[in-house]
Every structure is written in C-alpha cells, then in structure tokens.
Structure 1
Amino acid sequence: MEQVLSDLRYAAKNVGENHFRVVEDKRAAAAKVPPCMASGAILTPKIPGRAELTLITNRLQTRGWKIDSTLEVELTALSSGKWDIMLGAGPVPTEIAAQAGDNKGGIGISVTGVCKKLS
C-alpha cells in the first residue's frame, strides 16, 4: 500500500492541492488484514477533466502502472501487480462541499489490492 500511495503522490504533484487525502479501509484494519483498500481525493480549484486524468495516468505509467480501461466519461482504471486504481474527475459532491472550501472539483481515487489475513 505504501508504494501505491507513493506512486499516487508522485502522479498527483501540481494537480490541485499539493497533497491528496486518503482514507484507508477500516474494515480491513478490523479484520486484521494488511491495508488493501483506500479511497481519497485530490481537490482542485476548478472542475478537472480529461487533461488532468491524462497527466496523472501518464505519470503512473512511468512507475509501471498499466491502463486497464479508459471510458468516455472522465474515468480511468489502472493496475500494477496485485493493485488496482480507479480515477474519476468531476465536480465536488454536494455532501462534502463544506469541507472542500474554495475547491470546485476533484479527482476521486479508489485503491484496491488483495485482502488476505496474516498467517
């Protein structure tokens, strides 16, 4: 998970805020499995689109990630080894608008890996 988050930090540099917010899956922690899922967002002053997703995707590819699919909407899926990343761009959802401050948009991030209990 740390390598995945490091790759995302690298790819997200200078896209929106200087950091992205990540929430690791509490269910995995409760089940005593290594971190295998996380979600987060890169908040941006304006609504991002294909250009921002392409920039992040290209940077992830330099780190060994492969594009699994790119859809017509602003959504991209990538994979590397046992990890998958889903990126989606759009306006800040109304339910988190208060926490987003002046940011109007963002890139949602979903990370999934293989969840196995430690032996």
Structure 2
Amino acid sequence: MVSLISCGASNDVTGAATAAPATSGASASASPTGHTSETAGKSPQQVENDLRFATEPHGDLHMQERREGFCVLHGTVPTLKVLDSTALKGIVERMQTRGWTLDGPVESFDDEPAGSMSMAHVESGKYRVLLGTAPVPPEVKEAYAPNKGSILLSADWPCRKT
C-alpha cells in the first residue's frame, strides 16, 4: 500500500489542546466548552477506533504502523471520487458523536495543480487530529486506481520524554 501522508513523527509533540464534548445537532461546528473525563482518557487504539468509525461510510481506513515511542498515527481512506467539504463535515459529525470537538471551521481550498481539498482539526483530551480530503496525487494515481480521492488523517498527542 502506498501512503499519501508523510510520517513526520516526533517524540516531543507540542500544541495538543484540551477537548470539549460533542455538540448535539446536525452541523459540524466548533464548541468552546471544556473537556470531559470521558474523552480525556482515550488510548491510541480508541482514537484509531473513532477514526475508523468516522470514515467507515467512505471506505476502509488504512493505518500506517505506529513505531514504538512515537506519538502519532497516520492513515488514509482511498475514495472513488474526491470528497468535498460537505463529506468532511459528515466525518467530523461522526467524530463528535464519539466525544471529539471541532477546532475551527472546516476549510475548503483549491491548490494548483493538486485540485480541490478540504481540512478540519478535531480534539479529544490530549489528542488532536487533522482530517483532510484530497485528490490522489499523480505520482500514485495508478497504484490507487480506480480511486480518485482520499481521506487523509494524522493524530498526535504529547509524548513523555524518556
């Protein structure tokens, strides 16, 4: 399997924020509320399970193997078409049902020559996840055929220095 995400892991991940509980409602929106003990105690495996749940309607999540001591998870979901920000909002809403909070807006942008992409950040406890949708890069197009798009994700959390 060819990965669409770089593996820029670090043993000292900073900038992880506290989480807030999911907001009820049909739209993915940021919530200013504080974190709960329910979401603060997640393990990396629970984070991966939440990501699988959230992306399940779009295909199978392929996770890169996490190296021992690294506090980052990377994964991709190949998709038959390039997903738009509406699809990403649906993924965020599914994450919110698992106690994740949207941090900022779901953004859409066009990048030449890559094409249309969207991106969002969600948080839960010590975990922060970057979610994105994008076209399959030309250099791996044949390997991913017939898929034209992908969901990209990267989760990180603070590491203990040893």
TM-score > 0.5 by shorter chain: yes
Q: Tell me how far apart the structure 2 counterparts of residues 44 and 60 of structure 1 sit (CA, whole Å).
A: 19
Stretches of 4+ moved more than 3 A in 1?
Answer: none
Cα offset, 1:117, TM superposition: 4.5
2:98 is matched with 63
1:23 aligned partner, one-letter code: Q
Q: Tell me how far apart the structure 2 counterparts of residues 12 and 54 of structure 1 sit (CA, whole Å).
A: 11
Identity %: 34
Aligned length: 110
1:5 is matched with 48
Structure 1: any 5+ residue segments left out of the alignment? none
1:93 aligned partner, one-letter code: P
The answer to whether the Cα contact below 8 Å between 2:100 and 2:122 also exists between their aligned partners in 1 is yes
1:59-92 alpha-carbon deviations (Å, 9 max, x no partner): 0001000111225321100000010100111101
The answer to whether the Cα contact below 8 Å between 1:43 and 1:106 also exists between their aligned partners in 2 is yes
CA RMSD in angstroms, aligned pairs only? 1.6
2:62 is matched with 21
1:87-98 matches, within 5 Å, as 87-98=131-142
Q: Tell me how far apart the structure 1 counterparts of residues 122 and 85 of structure 2 sit (CA, whole Å).
A: 15
Per the normalisation by structure 1, the TM-score is 0.84
In terms of fraction of residues, the more helix-rich structure is 1
In terms of fraction of residues, the more strand-rich structure is 1
Larger Rg: 2
